[in-house]
């Protein structure tokens, strides 16, 4: 549950595996979520089942299934992507717990919550061996301000990059994710054409459902309508934190067909697919937006 990565000076260095130093950086979320006790090597009632801790140590996966039940992961994998949004599991302790579930956790503290959580997930939810890094500098002379790719994972063939936002409201606050898309992609393509660029959104996933969905919670102030106008006009593919978690459940249950370097690569090859939510793929077709279950 404490993982490692190396730092890189820029995107090209990351792609070519030329780290700034051979010293590993460590990252975890257990000091934020407080759902796992290192001393007793056990889960507690603050755990909301985010799956960050279950990798690399079979004993911890065994303790996780003991705590949540043997069919916990498989049941969510079956319910996910069937047309209706999935509410992520809640911690058993709700009072005086700042993180009721994954949505609460990902909508605060970007660099210590959603960013390391997603890095840990994609690092392990992969068919091939991959390298992970965070906050990889993007030096683009065409813009006044340099940027950083929040999450990067690369195999021998494919680069996955994610720009994380803690919520739809956060993304729309300054709409920097539009400029970031153009700035970052132009630099990525100097190093590789085999990449996926996604905007990762935490917080309430129902805010991201298409405006015509009865479950959409972002209709007030036309937040969701504005979001879809931006992502369709600029082609900014996105994924919710809840969808990434559901995909991880599928990966654990069914195997590498749902690894990011297989499933996400194939999913976003379709130019009509603009997003992935726990309800399914978000498809643009003949000026309409709909959910496609799978």
What does the pLDDT read at residue 140? 77
- pTM of the predicted protein model: 0.97
The DSSP bridge pattern shows strands 273-277 and 238-240 to be parallel
> Which are the contacts of 158, defined by CB distance < 8 A and separation ≥ 6?
194, 195, 196, 261, 265
Sign of the dihedral defined by the CA atoms of residues 165, 106, 73, 277, in that order:
negative
Q: Across-strand partners of 238? A: 199, 275
What does the pLDDT read at residue 139? 87
In this structure, what token pair is assigned to residue 255? Answer: 């195997």
What does the pLDDT read at residue 132? 98
Beta strands in 48-92 (DSSP E): none
pLDDT under 70 in the chain at which residues?
144
Phi-psi region at 39: left, alpha or beta (left = phi > 0; alpha = psi -120 to 50) = alpha
CA–CA dist 234, 179 (Å, integer): 10
What does the pLDDT read at residue 145? 72
CA–CA dist 86, 24 (Å, integer): 36
What does the pLDDT read at residue 3? 98
What does the pLDDT read at residue 55? 97
What does the pLDDT read at residue 287? 78
Q: Across-strand partners of 24? A: none
Domain count, the chain: 1
Greatest pairwise CA separation for the chain in angstroms: 56
3-class secondary-structure state, position 125: coil
Instruction: Residue 238: give the domain boundaries.
Output: 3-292
What does the pLDDT read at residue 142? 75
What does the pLDDT read at residue 107? 98
What does the pLDDT read at residue 141? 78
What does the pLDDT read at residue 75? 98
Q: Which helix (H) or strand (E) holds 274?
A: strand 273-277
Place of tokens 């755990």: 47
């Amino acid at each position: 549950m404490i993982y490692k990565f190396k730092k890189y000076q820029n995107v090209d260095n990351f792609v070519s595996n030329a780290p700034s130093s051979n010293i590993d950086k460590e990252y975890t979320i257990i000091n934020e979520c407080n759902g796992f006790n290192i001393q007793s090597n056990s889960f507690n009632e603050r755990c909301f089942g985010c799956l960050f801790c279950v990798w690399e140590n079979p004993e911890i996966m065994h303790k996780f299934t003991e705590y949540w039940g043997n069919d916990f992961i498989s049941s969510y994998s079956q319910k996910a992507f069937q047309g209706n949004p999935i509410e992520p599991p809640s911690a058993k302790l709700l009072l005086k717990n700042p993180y009721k579930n994954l949505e609460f956790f990902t909508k605060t503290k970007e660099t210590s919550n959603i960013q390391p959580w997603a890095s840990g997930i994609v690092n392990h939810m992969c068919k091939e061996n991959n390298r992970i890094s965070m906050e990889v500098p993007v030096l683009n002379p065409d813009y006044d301000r340099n940027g950083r790719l929040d999450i990067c994972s690369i195999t021998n063939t494919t680069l996955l990059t994610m720009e994380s936002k803690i919520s739809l409201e956060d993304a729309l606050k300054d709409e920097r994710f539009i400029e970031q898309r153009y700035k970052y992609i132009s630099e990525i393509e100097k190093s590789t054409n085999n990449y996926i660029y996604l905007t990762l959104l935490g917080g309430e996933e129902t805010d991201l459902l298409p405006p015509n969905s009865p479950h959409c919670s972002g209709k007030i102030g036309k937040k969701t309508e504005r979001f879809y106008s931006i992502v369709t006009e600029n082609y900014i593919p996105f994924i919710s934190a809840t969808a990434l978690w559901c995909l991880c459940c599928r990966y654990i249950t069914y195997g590498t067909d749902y690894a990011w370097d297989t499933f996400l690569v194939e999913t976003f090859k379709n130019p009509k697919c603009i997003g992935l939510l726990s309800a399914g793929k978000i498809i643009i077709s003949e000026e309409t937006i709909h959910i496609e279950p799978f």
